Structure 1
Amino acid sequence: MSDTASARVTGPTSAPQASPRAAVVAAALELFARQGFDQTSVEQIAQAAGVSRSTFFRQFGGKDDVVFTDHEELLDQLREFLAQPHADPWVAVCDASLFVYAHFAADPELARRRYAVVRGVPALREREIVTVFRYERLFDEYLRASLPGLDPLDAVGFAALVTAIHNHVLRRLLRGPKKVPASVLRSALDDALRRFGVHPDGQTSRAASDDLVVAVFPRSMPTAEVARRLQERLD
């Protein structure tokens, strides 16, 4: 986002916290990359991570859960973050996207290893699609709850746009050896806010002559009538 909007970006926490299960995840991804997902057993993962088989199953439901455990933790953190009061729900959704990006960008090599494993296993690719939709649905539901009366198409449209932009920038990071700074995502989200006309600076991405509407009504006019007349004119 722009400097004005990005200044509001805080995310669920000031910085992603390391999971106590990180060692197991790292060991599993290393084995998956070296010998293949299907060829790697739970016993091998547990041994490489220095934990017992029973501990592994207490932490994870199965091998695929190891691959997606970060997403489960991130979704939980985003739910808590979005449940808090936010002055601007549109910016809050962008903040959430930036937080998720920061998590994976903090260790790009591990993220790239995970990405390579997922792309090589059809079942994991299918679960990835479902996981992406969970983020989109979370944003959609949050916007509808935070902005009563919001057109559902606007809620789902913005949620889908933010999710798509996030995934596009993240894939640039995962597919190449170079770093892709968060400023790239901020800029793209900034444009998304302008496209929807909800950027904090009040600017839109278009300069059409009818983008700004000025209306004057008597102070005594009922609010409902003001809304009716505005809607009539806008339609």
Structure 2
Amino acid sequence: MGNLSIVTIIIIVANVLISYKGFGDYSFFDKYKFQVGSVQRGEKIRLFSSAFLHVDMQHLIFNMLTLYFFANPVLAYLGTVNFLIIYVGSLLFGNLLALYFHKNEYHYSAVGASGAVTGILYSAILLRPDMSLFLFFVPIPIPAYIFGIGYLLYSIYGMKKRVGNIGHDAHFGGAVGGYVITLLLAPWLFREHLLMIVLLAIPIVLLYVLRKSGKI
């Protein structure tokens, strides 16, 4: 895991400060959250700003802890600039997928860094598929790629069944963003981790097929 890098600290501090402002100022929160109707009317800044707002402290802490655990492998392999490209690219990809799936729901809204953080998580899995994850409710380590595949499959289920008050589409989009951008930035992965690339692609292909068939 290592020490926190300066870029990770800056991202966490920005999320904490902006989220805290949103906790106590509803007009600020409402102005910068992701909302389909507002984005379609031209307020594109919401596609970016919403990723620095959170519903509550628990939501904020969970996202920042996930970023803390998975930022360093990406930084170590790809460097600060590419890390930021993956973070921002995943953030935007997640919100664009949410916009696509909810384009006719003008009042649909969402906030949170989950898309960006999930992109970093998937980048780390691609770069270090030998990693093991320790989940709070599972007493044994889980291979990172198993978690990655399972998470995307659960996101598809959540999108189909609308499980909970969770932006499953933004999570999925962020994961796909992290997956695609990392492969573009590190094509050597096709040589060294081809099996992992194929396995992690399965849920992405499944979502495409389900969407084309009208089942999602």
Tell me the TM-score normalised to structure 1 length: 0.30
Higher alpha-carbon Rg? 1
Tell me the TM-score normalised to structure 2 length: 0.32
Structure number having the greater helix percentage: 2
